């Protein structure tokens, strides 16, 4: 039988899905064990049990000085910045994407400009943002927006352009104005693609968030990781990294679910 026709049965498929995860955990445990037997004081690869204890301690015990649980505070601060940044990018991206995609005048005016803007490395602008917007929340949110907006605008305008001409002509023969075509024909058709674009932008968004937090902040997941790096607290860093991964995965999963639930007609295309 050809390999391309070899399809795993359901239990085997589940096993195959879990296999790489299990393999990584086992590999880490072995590596950690080897180092710890050589030197019980080793800080680089803490034992899984140590990480587990740290996790419980981080998520339940309050700070010695204030009594607040820093872990949840960091999570809340980071998620707020991320949601604000992605929310602004998504809405502006949708708006500009529709305008560029639908109106030839706006396309001539903005398309090349956005294409050039998207080539600027956002992290190179970070010092400027800190200078202009200060070290507060604003500069972090703006970094996420600058980092993800050009991509979303370009993706949205491209998707809008891909709407078959027939549909736009059809809407015109039904008497629709440009506004109604944008609202009733283009907008609903690009909404599933917007969710897609936001899902793809989440990775860069996390990157910019953690970079901004690492450089100047007083709370946030990225801030904490770079803070405890000074003490070589690998157990804390790993806990935070795992947590960030889980958060990112849940967001992606929620968006995928939302897309399927809200736009059942687009099922086949996505």
Partner 1 sequence: MSFVTAIDIFQSYGNRPIIERVNLSVEQGEFISIVGASGCGKSTFLRLLLAQERPTHGSISIDGAAAAVEPGLDRGVVFQKYSVFPHMTVRENIVAGESMRTTWGRFFGAELKAARTRADETLARIGLDHVADQYPATLSGGMQQRLAIGQALAAKPSVLLLDEPFGALDPGTRLSMHDFLQDLRAETGMTVFMVTHDLDEAFKLGDRVLVFDKPRWDPHDPSAYGATITYDFDARDGGIPFQRLKESINVRTTP
Find the binding residues for partner 1 in span 236-265 (CB under 8 A): 263-265
Among 123, 171, 200, 255, binds partner 1 (CB under 8 A): 171
Distances (CA, A) of 210 to 36, 152, 245, 265: 30, 20, 13, 37
- Neighbouring residues of 203: CB distance < 8 A, sequence distance ≥ 6: 248
Q: Give the single-character DSSP code of 40.
A: T
Note whether 170 binds partner 1 by CB under 8 A. Answer: yes
Note whether 270 binds partner 1 by CB under 8 A. Answer: no
CB of 98 to partner 1, least distance (A): 14
Comparing CB distances to partner 1, the nearer of 21 and 179 is 179
String of contacts with partner 1 for each residue 172-211, x by CB under 8 A = xxxxxx-xx--xxx--xx----------------------
Counting every residue written for the chain, the total comes to 270
Note whether 164 binds partner 1 by CB under 8 A. Answer: yes
Among 169, 241, 254, 270, binds partner 1 (CB under 8 A): 169
Number of Cβ within 10 Å of residue 42's Cβ equals: 15
CB of 96 to partner 1, least distance (A): 21
In angstroms, the CA 129 to CA 81 distance is: 15
Comparing CB distances to partner 1, the nearer of 194 and 244 is 194
Comparing CB distances to partner 1, the nearer of 35 and 260 is 260
CB of 100 to partner 1, least distance (A): 20
Number of Cβ within 10 Å of residue 199's Cβ equals: 16
CB of 196 to partner 1, least distance (A): 15
CB of 266 to partner 1, least distance (A): 7
Q: Cβ distance 72 to 59 under 8 Å? A: yes
CB of 65 to partner 1, least distance (A): 55
CB of 268 to partner 1, least distance (A): 7
CB of 163 to partner 1, least distance (A): 9
In angstroms, the CA 13 to CA 191 distance is: 32
Instruction: Write out the DSSP string of 164-217.
Output: -HHHHHHHHHTT--HHHIIIIIIHHHHHHHHHHHHHHHHHHHHHHHHHHHHHS-
In angstroms, the CA 126 to CA 140 distance is: 9
Q: State both tokens at 102.
A: 């639908």
Comparing CB distances to partner 1, the nearer of 121 and 268 is 268
Q: Count of residues binding partner 1 (CB under 8 A)?
A: 25
Q: Which residue has the tokens 């602008």?
A: 125
String of contacts with partner 1 for each residue 115-154, x by CB under 8 A = ----------------------------------------
Closest CA to 56 of 259, 243, 196: 243
Which residues of this protein are in contact with partner 1, per CB under 8 A?
164, 166-167, 169-177, 179-180, 183-185, 188-189, 263-268
């Amino acid at each position: 039988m050809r390999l391309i026709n070899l399809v795993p049965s359901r239990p085997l498929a589940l096993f195959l899905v879990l296999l790489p995860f299990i393999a990584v955990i086992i590999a880490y445990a072995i590596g950690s064990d080897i180092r710890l037997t050589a030197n019980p004081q080793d800080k680089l690869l803490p034992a899984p049990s140590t990480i587990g204890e740290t996790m419980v301690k981080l998520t339940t015990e309050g700070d010695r000085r204030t009594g607040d649980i820093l872990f949840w505070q960091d999570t809340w601060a980071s998620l707020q910045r991320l949601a604000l940044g992605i929310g602004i990018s998504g809405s502006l991206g949708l708006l500009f994407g529709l305008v560029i995609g639908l109106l030839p005048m706006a396309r001539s005016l903005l398309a090349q400009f956005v294409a050039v803007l998207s080539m600027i490395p956002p992290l190179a602008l970070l010092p400027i943002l800190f200078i202009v917007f200060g070290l507060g929340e604003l500069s972090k949110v703006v970094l996420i927006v600058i980092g993800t907006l050009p991509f979303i605008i370009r993706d949205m305008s491209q998707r809008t352009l891909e709407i078959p001409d027939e549909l736009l002509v059809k809407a015109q023969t039904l008497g629709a104005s440009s506004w109604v075509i944008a609202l009733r024909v283009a907008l609903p058709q690009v909404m599933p693609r917007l969710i897609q674009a936001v899902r793809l932008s989440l990775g860069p968004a996390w990157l910019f968030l953690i970079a901004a937090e690492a450089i100047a902040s007083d709370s946030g997941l990225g801030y904490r990781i770079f803070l405890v790096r000074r003490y070589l607290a690998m157990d804390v860093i790993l806990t935070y990294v795992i947590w960030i991964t889980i958060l990112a995965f849940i967001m992606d999963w929620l968006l995928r679910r939302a897309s399927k639930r809200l736009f059942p007609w687009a099922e086949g295309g996505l």
